[in-house]
Structure 1
Amino acid sequence: MSSTLTTNTLSPVFAIVVGEHSGDTLGLGLMQVLKTDYPDAQFIGIGGAKMEKLGFESLFAMEELAVMGIVEVLGRIHRLLYVRKSLVHHFIQNRPDVFIGIDAPDFNIGLELRLKEQGIKTIHYVSPSVWAWREKRIFKIAKATDMVLSLLPFEKDFYDKHQVPCTFVGHPLADDIPMVSDKKQARDQLSLPIENKILALMPGSRGGELSRLLEPFLQSAVQLQKEDETLLFVAPMVSEKRAEQFSKLKLQFAPNLKVQVIIDQTQAVMAASDCLLTASGTVTLEAALIKRPMVICYKFTLLTYLLAKWLVKLKWFSLPNLLANKTLVPELLQDEVCSEKIIPLVKARLYHDQTQLNDSFNTIHQQLKCNASKQAAKAVIDLLNTPN
């Protein structure tokens, strides 16, 4: 915490705090564009490995903030409060020109509030899901930020309704994923056969998700393979740790099922597949952009489900359906996640034409393909050049 920041119009100081790998990717894209306008700019705060390779100075490790779940957060609350208090003190003493909190809303919005109170310009990049639950958070966001940068168009509509400054920048995934994902090329890359139908089993990137979803996914796969012996299964895993967890559970629930586990090539696996049986999350947006049919499932712990059922008022929970504002892809939640419901939905998408669905996915892709990093950087520069 010893760094001293220097500021002038040609070398502004951008303070950025990210809390996980997706934020590191967004931060990298933002830094790359800002550096084209301000090659001598300084970047400091909390960043990941990608940002640090570009010259970002981290005052704390990003992993300090990578905590999910109520129990886990409570277990680290004293350390998280210390980190936030230290950042507030540091940025008040060494004032950046703009502070940008990327995602991690429970940490960043409180930090932004304290900095804005001290006259520091603040931006929150990636809107929290205020449109889904805890809607009153929007009033705290309004106090804490000069601008929200949203990835999804319906988020801006929500902010506009509440007269909170918001800029829709598009989604970086839509910029990175090509409009057409070549199935043959992906299969060649992964050494998968061209002629077989392939179903991707994607029970989530977090341990809890995987432990709750894998049993019904495997039970469905066993039955599907009985009906079609040529059907192949692949399981993309984000890490060796998740792959080990997958293998242990597979040994328990479907020891004879052949599944090829592929690590850290999720998008290639999706492109190589004919259908995806997947957990909910950002991966469903990736799947829509790659233009693959899917069946989306999610199971919460019982307490979380009861709370969510009470707090969340949404017709759909998956991004493709929310973006289309209609049911494009099937969703199964909680007790619905069982082989009896999964199997017919998967078969309908494995063995029938999906041209109409692809047209809808193309519309979503074009809507979100806005050069997000460039749009985000423009919003940051506009705020930087706005008089206090």
Structure 2
Amino acid sequence: MELISKINNINQAIYCCSNCTRRLLLPSHFLFNCSHRNTIPKISMWLAAIRCVNIFKNSICWKTPLRRYLWVSSKSLIDRAASEGELRVFIVAGEVSGDSIASRLMASLNKISPLPIRFSGVGGSRMSNQGLKSLFPMENIAVMGIWELLPHFYNFRVKLKETVEAALQFQPHVVVTVDSKGFSFRLLKQLRARYNQQRSDRPVLFHYVAPSFWAWKGGEARLKGLSKFVDYVFCILPNEEAGCKLNGLNATFVGHPILEDVLELNMGKETALHEWKITGNGEDFRKKYAIASGATVITLLPGSRLQEVTRMLPIFSNTMKLLKDSLPELVTVIHVAPNQLVDNYIAKAVHKWPVPAILIPGGTPQLKYDAFNASLVALCTSGTVAMELQLARLPCLVTYRAHFLTEWFVRHKAKIPYISLPNILLDSPVIPEALFQACTPAKVAFLLKELMNNTVLQQQQIAAAEKVMELLCPPNRTLNNTEQQGMKPSPPSYSPSMIAASTILSYKQR
């Protein structure tokens, strides 16, 4: 962006801030914040602000769709934050999948914000890599289930209070909670109440990953209550946006976060991006870990929360005992979530593992997909990993166990017969599931062996994966659309995190 170097009153007003491009993009800086405003005639400052608008409109930034989307009114978040010279974002994630979503959102905000951003909140290792200093370990609030929460309830309340006080002290312009609905909604509710008591300007309250209102009896009725303490919801599934809006919630379908794995791992490769798929290098993986060419490799994903892993890993272990006699060259690849408690537990458990085991550390996506490509099938605990396996086109069996009272509640309150997202989206049992009391080593071994020996079942899952991935793309942002228009795909323009970031920055507070 070029500035006229000739010194006159108008140009002096612009030139005084030429060392800060971010401020230069904000006309309000010349009118209210510029340190030179007392030495330059007011009319010149107004004209400088007008020229700033014209310069910006003629710049490359203005011609970029996302930048144009961010040029907002005086009631926008950006304009409010401009007077303080920074945008403060308080962001909270309580589990591994949320840590991944939040870290990508942080990166996208940093890429397109015209102001420097300061983060505070709670998160994991990936958010830490984006500059967050977590108030406490994310694992302290990573509890899922009704009765599973009871032993941790006191600590849960302590951490909730600590987070509320930290948010108030931080004075954010934006608060973003990611999934972890039990903690997130309590946090947003208390923050809204505290700001109402203080009668002060409150931040805009966003929640990323809409609650699964469609899965529960009376879910839509509970959804209506969210509008009292949530300003905006980012939906990751189709039809959630419409459901939220019908119940008084502002919402946007941004696409499923799993799509970003494709954008990160496939972009830059010689092969063109033409489908939502990740193909790892299974041959290199087998060489790296000295796996015999005739060995049968099964991928195991026991979960990301300690409570899940302690329930599921023993079932997986006993299942492998039942399979090893019929599969003499059986090798298991166990994926360890980036959670220190989970890491320690699995490291001890594999000492008594019935078959050879390879541990894959969390936070290594390329290695993870290489392992998927080297495997025949996968055995996983229900969660985001089922979608990762769909991306890799690896047939799988989904399992889950919980506290018996939680299982009773789910059986009586759930509206849908499936737990894995691909089955829910297609309304068909494409992926076999072993749930609750049916999740026994004998049952799991039977279903897994059937999947391994039946290529028709495997091909059904692979074919279904393509349909599922297309459903998870936000409207008009599929890879095929960009290719048909003759444009090179550009991840920042259609990735879920970038869509969410642009929505936050362009939000106009009423």
Secondary structure class of the residue paired with 1:258: coil
Query: 2 CA distance for matches of 1:222 and 1:47?
Result: 37
1:76 to partner: Cα distance: 1.0
The counterpart of 2:185, out of the listed 109, 122, 142, is 109
1:168 to partner: Cα distance: 1.3
1:181 to partner: Cα distance: 1.8
Residue 15 (str. 1) matches residue 90 (str. 2): yes
Residue type at the aligned position of 1:371: S
1:377 to partner: Cα distance: 0.7
Secondary structure class of the residue paired with 1:131: helix
Residue 244 (str. 1) matches residue 333 (str. 2): no
1:363 to partner: Cα distance: 2.3
Q: Indicate how the Cα distance of structure 1 residues 186 and 319 shifts in structure 2: closer, same or farther if over 3 A, else same.
A: farther
Task: Give the match for residue 161 of structure 2.
Answer: 82
1:176 to partner: Cα distance: 0.8
Task: Give the match for residue 147 of structure 1.
Answer: 232
Aligned CA-pair RMSD = 2.9
1:81-230 equivalence runs, <5 A: 81-87=160-166, 89-90=168-169, 94=171, 96-116=172-192, 118=195, 119-133=202-216, 135=219, 136-177=221-262, 179-182=277-280, 183-230=282-329
Query: 2 CA distance for matches of 1:148 and 1:171?
Result: 14
Query: 1 CA distance for matches of 2:89 and 2:81?
Result: 10
| Contact kept in structure 1, 2:224 and 2:248, CA below 8 Å | no
1:80 to partner: Cα distance: 2.5
Q: Indicate how the Cα distance of structure 1 residues 139 and 258 shifts in structure 2: closer, same or farther if over 3 A, else same.
A: same
Task: Give the match for residue 331 of structure 2.
Answer: 232
Residue type at the aligned position of 1:197: T
Residue type at the aligned position of 1:139: K
Query: 2 CA distance for matches of 1:217 and 1:373?
Result: 34
Q: C-alpha deviations, 1:4-23, integer Å up to 9, x for none?
A: xx931663222222223333
1:244 to partner: Cα distance: 3.1
Query: 2 CA distance for matches of 1:190 and 1:159?
Result: 48
Residue type at the aligned position of 1:73: H
Query: 1 CA distance for matches of 2:241 and 2:352?
Result: 41
Q: Normalization by structure 2: what TM-score?
A: 0.65
The counterpart of 1:361, out of the listed 445, 465, 469, is 465
Query: 1 CA distance for matches of 2:298 and 2:433?
Result: 17
Query: 2 CA distance for matches of 1:232 and 1:62?
Result: 32
Residue type at the aligned position of 1:379: T
Range that drifts further, 76-85 or 144-153:
76-85
Secondary structure class of the residue paired with 1:22: helix
Q: Indicate how the Cα distance of structure 1 residues 341 and 97 shifts in structure 2: closer, same or farther if over 3 A, else same.
A: same
1:28 to partner: Cα distance: 1.9
1:364 to partner: Cα distance: 1.9
Q: Indicate how the Cα distance of structure 1 residues 352 and 180 shifts in structure 2: closer, same or farther if over 3 A, else same.
A: farther
| Contact kept in structure 2, 1:154 and 1:323, CA below 8 Å | no
Secondary structure class of the residue paired with 1:328: coil
Q: Indicate how the Cα distance of structure 1 residues 137 and 97 shifts in structure 2: closer, same or farther if over 3 A, else same.
A: same
Q: C-alpha deviations, 1:31-61, integer Å up to 9, x for none?
A: 2221222251222333444334433355555
Task: Give the match for residue 258 of structure 1.
Answer: 355
Residue type at the aligned position of 1:82: K
Query: 2 CA distance for matches of 1:64 and 1:219?
Result: 29
Query: 1 CA distance for matches of 2:323 and 2:400?
Result: 20
Q: Equivalent pairs: percent with the same residue?
A: 27
Query: 1 CA distance for matches of 2:166 and 2:179?
Result: 16
Q: C-alpha deviations, 1:132-190, integer Å up to 9, x for none?
A: 24724312322111211122224334324434222111122222145132333443454
Query: 2 CA distance for matches of 1:19 and 1:204?
Result: 14
Task: Give the match for residue 501 of structure 2.
Answer: 377
Range that drifts further, 290-299 or 104-113:
104-113
1:323 to partner: Cα distance: 2.4
Task: Give the match for residue 70 of structure 1.
Answer: 149
Q: Indicate how the Cα distance of structure 1 residues 325 and 184 shifts in structure 2: closer, same or farther if over 3 A, else same.
A: farther
| Contact kept in structure 2, 1:200 and 1:233, CA below 8 Å | yes
Range that drifts further, 28-37 or 342-351:
342-351
1:27 to partner: Cα distance: 2.1
Task: Give the match for residue 401 of structure 2.
Answer: 299
Structure 2 gap segments, 5+ residues each: 1-79, 196-201, 267-276, 363-367, 474-493
| Contact kept in structure 2, 1:236 and 1:269, CA below 8 Å | no
Query: 2 CA distance for matches of 1:13 and 1:202?
Result: 36
Query: 2 CA distance for matches of 1:275 and 1:98?
Result: 43
Query: 2 CA distance for matches of 1:75 and 1:332?
Result: 33
Query: 1 CA distance for matches of 2:401 and 2:384?
Result: 16
Range that drifts further, 358-367 or 215-224:
215-224
| Contact kept in structure 1, 2:322 and 2:442, CA below 8 Å | no
Q: C-alpha deviations, 1:258-313, integer Å up to 9, x for none?
A: 23131315544333211112221222121112111111121222222122222223
1:259-338 equivalence runs, <5 A: 259-264=356-361, 266-338=368-440
Residue type at the aligned position of 2:344: K
Q: Indicate how the Cα distance of structure 1 residues 7 and 316 shifts in structure 2: closer, same or farther if over 3 A, else same.
A: same
Query: 2 CA distance for matches of 1:60 and 1:343?
Result: 40
1:360 to partner: Cα distance: 1.2
